């Protein structure tokens, strides 16, 4: 049977008399005891049979929870490496969390979650779950606070400020990074810290031989969370015996080794839905080839299923013609498509589309010179629930963003790879590293599953200590429909990826006169679309730069140009047609070939008011 529409699903639920939606949730947030109501006005917009009577409730000063996962902890075995003579050598590692409370006004309350237990990489001794080692304290704005060597998951609850309030000049963000210079976990594992929510979409990871993917769910709230986990692989939805429903106690975290419950899944995407409390989730993914590290990263949540997705900050270090080693764009159409949330779909809904070809997906790669046309097929069939990877073979080295447009709502992300120089390797192989890039969160309102019009992310990225950082920004089309966005992308000049022999390459002298004229007009049409605000180690603004881009153009800015840069924000300018999507790519200069990507996040909790339903039968059908 084909894909069912949302109206079909809603009508069946109404006949069953089930409750389809929760219109508001009251959550006591952390030590600040701030009251947060989750706004779900989009439910009523989709449900004409829900009694309306909406009102806005003032919640006073905004408050949000930013949660940083634990930095990677090495086992005693991972703390040593084997050289060419088979002798063991101790590896050097560092772990850090960096918190930025940027701009004046308000502050944050910092505390830690209960540790998971395991082995401490400094002492090699076993650690059992117990009280957090991080002492709870307040951080007043403005400030950038470093937590070197931290072993806890960190929770920052804002007070009198939100995560991203450009009008007030206030931003709150944090980042986590672990650096290891050798052994099984060589490379950098980093991620921006996340805002707690009831739903998380994680695109990335693998459970094939040599890979490990640990799903970690963190509950910073004061009430327990019941979490439902759904996973998709290359052949569709994957059963998770004993791990499909998790109870996460307040102030604690739960970890599931996905290879232990769903082995030999080369491509993975995961959905986490929480009831009872807001949570965050990450997947710690690492890979080995024998005893040679192939890298690792934290998979962080991306955008919910949409027909148009944007993945900013896809970096290609060297052109790769081998699809097995190339960076990839990962896509999956959840097997309840086109429903935009797992909370709105039953097992019966999912069964009716699983295994069906539900449409096609197209991948557009945007670089400094325009649209890079990929070799091979530009459109790929989507089978409901099956995870596919689109390799970026033949793409020249550089920084890019990816636009994914599909016939049905999809999830998207990208894996970018880098390799250490040959002189770093041993007779056992040359190590490499990789980073997972999520689809941009906050690009569209909750009422739409299409994904347009785009909205610029205005939150901050905190730069970890001791890394080389590059800001990658793309100007997206300003169309209000999917067709308009695709039409504007089609007008972007083409650059053709080439194979190893150079066949297919078409740029420079090979352009026709018509193509050259169109390219010149595209360059001339560039505008100042955003301001880059750089903040210093005290949380004050250090300097400001202007981003000038044409529609569909990606450019980069070396953050090393700004001495003392500790955080960055991109604030879009009014009066131009287009949106800016961006992220920060980092590498540890002491670990050649290392790679991490930090994407800004957006919190809906920043508004000083929420919309609630005034009804004694809120969420119930009126008939």
Return the sign of the alpha-carbon dihedral for residues 303, 405, 333, 16: positive
**pLDDT for 19 beyond 70:** no
User: In the chain, what's the furthest Cα-to-Cα distance?
Assistant: 77
Mean pLDDT of 460-485: 94
**Band (270; pLDDT cuts 50, 70, 90):** very high
For residues 203 and 389, the answer to whether their CB atoms sit within 8 Å is no
Strand pairing report for 65-68 and 194-195: antiparallel
What pLDDT sits at residue 76? 64
Q: Which two tokens stand for residue 267?
A: 């491509």
3-state DSSP assignment of residue 419:
strand
Q: What percent of the chain has pLDDT over 90?
A: 54
Nearest to 13 by CA among 47, 53, 60, 63: 47
pLDDT of residue 335 exceeding 60: yes
Question: Tokens representing 132?
Answer: 């957090």
* Residue 376 predicted with pLDDT over 90: no
CB 619 within 8 A of CB 22: yes
Q: Report the pLDDT value the prediction gives residue 438, as an integer from 0 to 100.
A: 96
CA distance 428 to 299: 28
Nearest one of 568, 292, 239 to 425, comparing CA atoms: 292
Residue 160 has pLDDT above 50, yes or no: yes
CA distance 167 to 148: 32
What local confidence, expressed as pLDDT, does residue 201 receive?
Answer: 95
Cα 503 to chain center, whole Å? 35
Residues contacting 52, CB < 8 A, separation 6+: 44, 613, 615
What average pLDDT does the segment 505-528 reach?
77
The Cα 266–Cα 443 span in angstroms is 29
Q: Give the separation between CA 364 and CA 378, rounded to whole angstroms.
A: 8
Q: What is the structure's pLDDT at 137? A: 92
Q: Where are the alpha helices (DSSP H) in 470-601?
A: 482-490, 513-524
* Chain-centre distance for alpha carbon 52: 34
Helices and strands per DSSP (H, E), number in the chain = 6, 44
Give the per-residue pLDDT at 337.
44
Between CA 379 and CA 393 the distance in angstroms is 15
Within 192-320, residue ranges assigned H as helices are 258-261
CA 246, chain centre distance (Å): 22
Residue 16 has pLDDT above 50, yes or no: no
Return all residues near 398 (Cβ < 8 A) that are at least 6 apart. Answer: 315, 316, 367, 368
The pLDDT of residue 291 is: 83
Cα 438 to Cα 139, 238, 282, 300, 339: the distances in Å are 29, 21, 11, 7, 20
- Residue 498 confidence (pLDDT): 65
User: Quick check: 183 and 282 in contact, CB under 8 A?
Assistant: no
| Closest to 151 measured CA to CA, from 124, 179, 116, 186 | 116
Please state, rounded to an integer, the average pLDDT across all residues of the chain.
80
The residue among 453, 201, 422, 186 whose CA lies nearest residue 303 is 201
Burial of 574 (0-12, 13-18, 19+ CB in 10 A): exposed
Say whether pLDDT at 313 is over 90: yes
- Long-range Cβ contact pairs of 31-38 (< 8 A, separation 24 or more): 31/109, 31/111, 31/136, 31/157, 32/63, 32/109, 32/157, 32/159, 34/59, 34/61, 34/63, 34/157, 34/159, 35/59, 36/63, 36/64, 36/605, 37/610, 37/612, 38/198, 38/278, 38/604, 38/605, 38/610
| 499 band by pLDDT with thresholds 50, 70 and 90 | low
With CA atoms as reference, report the closest residue to 460 among 157, 192, 276: 192
The answer to whether 577 and 556 have CB atoms below 8 angstroms apart is no
Give me the mean pLDDT over the 497-511 stretch: 55
Task: Say what the pLDDT of residue 8 is.
Answer: 47
Q: Averaged over 301-323, what is the pLDDT?
A: 89
- Percentage with pLDDT > 70 across the chain: 74
Given a contact cutoff of 8 angstroms between Cβ atoms, the answer to whether 144 and 537 are in contact is yes
CB within 8 Å of 520: residues ≥ 6 apart: none
SS3 143: strand
For residue 52, the model assigns a pLDDT of 42
Q: Phi first, then psi: what are they for 488, rounded to 5°?
A: -70, -35
- Strand pairing report for 494-496 and 579-587: unpaired
Checking if the pLDDT of 546 tops 90, the result is yes
Average pLDDT rounded to a whole number, residues 365-392: 91
What was the pLDDT predicted at 135? Answer: 86
Mean pLDDT comparison of 159-173, 249-263, 412-426, 566-580, highest-scoring range: 249-263
Distance from C-alpha of 527 to C-alpha of 81, rounded to nearest angstrom = 51
- Lowest mean pLDDT across 57-61, 162-166, 499-503, 573-577: 499-503
């Amino acid at each position: 049977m084909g894909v069912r529409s949302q109206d079909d699903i809603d009508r069946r639920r109404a006949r069953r008399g089930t409750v389809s939606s929760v219109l508001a949730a009251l959550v006591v947030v952390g030590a600040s005891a701030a009251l947060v109501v989750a706004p779900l006005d989009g439910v009523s917009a989709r449900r004409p049979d829900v009694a309306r009577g909406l009102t806005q409730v003032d919640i006073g000063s905004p408050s949000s929870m930013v949660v940083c996962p634990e930095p990677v902890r090495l086992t005693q075995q991972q703390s040593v490496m084997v050289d060419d003579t088979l002798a063991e050598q101790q590896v050097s590692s560092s772990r850090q969390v960096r918190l930025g409370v940027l701009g004046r006004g308000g502050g944050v309350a910092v505390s830690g979650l209960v540790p998971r237990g395991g082995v401490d990489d400094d002492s090699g001794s076993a650690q059992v779950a117990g009280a957090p080692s991080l002492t709870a304290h307040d951080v007043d704005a403005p400030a950038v606070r470093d937590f070197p060597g931290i072993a806890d998951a960190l929770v920052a609850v804002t007070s009198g400020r939100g995560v991203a309030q450009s009008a007030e000049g206030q931003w709150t963000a944090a980042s986590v990074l672990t650096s290891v210079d050798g052994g099984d976990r060589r490379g950098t594992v980093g991620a921006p810290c996340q805002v707690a929510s009831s739903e998380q979409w994680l695109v990335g990871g693998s459970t094939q031989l040599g890979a490990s993917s640990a799903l970690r769910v963190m509950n910073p709230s004061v009430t327990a969370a019941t979490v439902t986990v759904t996973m998709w692989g290359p052949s569709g939805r994957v059963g998770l015996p004993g791990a499909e429903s998790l109870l996460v106690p307040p102030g604690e975290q739960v970890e599931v080794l996905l290879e232990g419950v769903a082995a030999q899944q080369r491509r993975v995407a995961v959905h986490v839905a929480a009831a009872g409390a807001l949570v965050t989730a990450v997947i710690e993914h690492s890979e080995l080839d024998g005893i040679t590290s192939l890298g690792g990263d934290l998979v962080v949540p991306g955008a919910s299923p949409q027909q148009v997705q944007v993945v900013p900050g896809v970096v290609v270090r060297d052109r790769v013609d081998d699809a097995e080693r190339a960076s990839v764009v990962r896509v999956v159409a959840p097997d309840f498509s086109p429903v935009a949330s797992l909370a709105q779909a039953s097992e019966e809904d999912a069964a009716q589309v699983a295994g069906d070809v539900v449409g096609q997906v197209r991948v557009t790669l945007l670089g400094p010179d325009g649209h890079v046309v990929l070799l091979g097929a530009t459109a790929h069939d989507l089978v409901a629930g099956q995870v596919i990877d689109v390799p970026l073979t033949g793409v020249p080295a550089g920084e890019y963003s990816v636009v994914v447009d599909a016939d049905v709502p999809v999830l998207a992300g990208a894996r970018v790879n880098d390799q250490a120089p040959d002189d770093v390797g041993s007779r056992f192989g040359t190590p490499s590293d990789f980073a997972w890039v999520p689809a941009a969160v906050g690009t569209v309102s909750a009422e739409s599953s299409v994904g347009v019009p785009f909205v610029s992310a205005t939150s901050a990225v905190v730069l970890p200590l001791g890394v080389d950082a590059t800001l990658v920004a793309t100007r997206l089309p300003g169309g209000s429909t999917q067709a308009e966005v695709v039409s504007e992308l089609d007008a972007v000049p083409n650059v053709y990826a080439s194979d190893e022999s150079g066949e297919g390459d078409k740029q420079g002298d090979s352009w026709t006169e018509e193509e050259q004229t169109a390219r010149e007009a595209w360059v001339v049409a560039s505008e100042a679309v955003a301001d880059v605000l750089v903040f210093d180690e005290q949380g004050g603004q250090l300097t400001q730069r202007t981003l000038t881009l044409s529609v569909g153009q990606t450019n980069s800015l070396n953050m090393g140009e700004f001495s003392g840069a500790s955080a960055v924000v991109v604030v879009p300018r009014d009066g131009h047609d287009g949106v800016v999507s961006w992220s920060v790519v980092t590498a540890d200069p002491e670990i050649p070939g290392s790679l991490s990507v930090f994407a800004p996040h957006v919190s809906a909790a920043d508004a000083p008011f929420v919309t609630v339903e005034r009804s004694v039968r809120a969420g119930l059908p009126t008939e």
